[in-house]
Amino acid sequence: MAEIIEMPKLSDTMTTGTLVNWLKQEGDSVSAGDMICEVETDKATMEVECFEDGVILKLYAQEGDSVAIGQPICAVGEKGEEAPAVESGGDSVSSGDDKAAQETESKAQPAQDEASSQEPKQAPKPAEAETKAEDAQKAEEQDVEDEEKAADTTEGPDIRVSPLARKLAKEKGLDLTLIKGTGPAGRIVRDDVLKAEKEGTAKPQPKQAPAAASAPAAPFIEEKTFKVTNMRGAIARALVGSKAQSPHFYLQIEVDGKPITDLRAALNHKLTNLPPEQGGVKFTVNDLILKAATEAVRRVPAINREWKGDTIIQHGGVQLAFGVAIDDGLLTPVIRDAHAKSLRQIAHEAKELIGKARNKKLKPDEMSGSTLTVTNLGMFGISDFYGIINPPNAAILSVGATVKTPIVDENDNITIGYRMKVGLSGDHRVIDGAVGAQYLSALKDVLETPSVMLV
């Protein structure tokens, strides 16, 4: 007997999923454990597993459809078996007989409409048509007479013209100064305009080119409208909730970026060309910042807190989230127990999570449970900014680019320096400005003496 596969609940907050790709098609054989489709939830793109053996009889949902939890997506059964009819919202998915009947009805309706449109219309009676024509002609003649009797319109200092003649000359593009008026006091009337047009005595006025400013500019990029995906919608709801519920305050500190840049260069010089089994690795600036942010929590543990309404929790370990930009938004994978991991381990795990994020393969539990978040836009040349707090964290770090700039050294001499700005957005319900300032000061010490991260 055919079994209906329904949309499963793939995350705690999921209510609907967007079916982005079918991995199996109608008629394909499947076994329990096979992945049959990919679904985008509010957090990630995940595969849906089949728990039945048989053949895909029917696909009830198409790629791009938004499907609610529990709604049928396909039927699995024996080859040749008829797929069961299901209902999806107000639209029913029916078997072949019902579908044929619907097609027959839809084809019949246009034929009926066409037949109706071809029915002869009742022609007006001759006497009635003649009366209407006479009325229209009289109305037109009256309009002309009214125009000619209307008050004169002065067109320049010496030209008098009736409204109808002025309108007619404009339509025909004739110069009123070249038309001789035969009306009272030399007024130009309609017949004068028609005569001038016929004799060619009033040359058309040269048309003025429209001003460049008034012409609409041609678009230089394609105008598009995008549907809000589940992921984009989830990001929007979370960030609106964060700004609405968490009273943000902002701090910033400037750090000497040369020590961490020099350390990275020295490590990569020695390790990049070695094979992995001999300790080969290549570090990014972000790897060192993630490690430094974790080490600074040891010195100011109050930054690692969470608001719970009636209580405030200070977490015993650092579950470090970091921002990864993808086409559809920003994901924040989490490095578990970052406080217990070396720089090498943090770099390796960050690289794996970044790859998963960009391929939309992150699992929900790889993006939840963070206690502190770091977001870095330095690689885009951004010098300073402030992020929105990632709930339920008490703070988020915003790291800018290291910029070469003139500075005053310890001997009061102007020299070239390398400066990095680090911002902090804090939840004032959980921490105060003093805690944020202490944490930034501790982070500055670690970044300017980065060797402490290696012990």
One of 175, 337, 432, 445 is an active-site residue; which one? 432
Helix (H) or strand (E) holding 230, with range, is helix 230-245
Q: Determine the CATH number of domain 140-199.
A: 4.10.320.10
Superfamily of domain 247-454: Chloramphenicol acetyltransferase-like domain (3.30.559.10)
One of 12, 135, 143, 428 is an active-site residue; which one? 428
The SS3 of residue 59 is: strand
Please state which of the four CATH numbers 3.40.640.10, 3.90.550.10, 2.40.50.100, 3.40.50.800 is assigned to the domain occupying 3-112: 2.40.50.100
pLDDT at 181: 84
pLDDT at 166: 85
Q: Where are the domains of the chain?
A: 3-112, 140-199, 247-454
Instruction: Label the pairing between strands 45-49 and 72-77.
Output: unpaired
pLDDT at 107: 46
pTM across the whole model: 0.62
Quote the CA–CA distance of 238 and 234 in Å, as a whole number.
6
pLDDT at 334: 97
DSSP 103-119: HHHHHHHHHHHHHHHTS
pLDDT at 76: 92
- Length of the chain as a residue count: 455
pLDDT < 70: residue spans in the chain: 88-158, 203-215
Q: In 186-229, which ranges are continuous DSSP H helix?
A: 190-199
pLDDT at 207: 55
Active-site residue flag, 135: no
pLDDT in tens, 38-97: 998 877 788 899 988 999 999 999 998 889 999 999 999 998 888 888 875 433 344 344
Active-site residue flag, 428: yes
DSSP 277-312: GGT-----HHHHHHHHHHHHHHH-GGGSEEE-SS-E
Distance (Å) of CA 10 to CA 43, 48, 72, 183, 452: 9, 9, 15, 88, 42
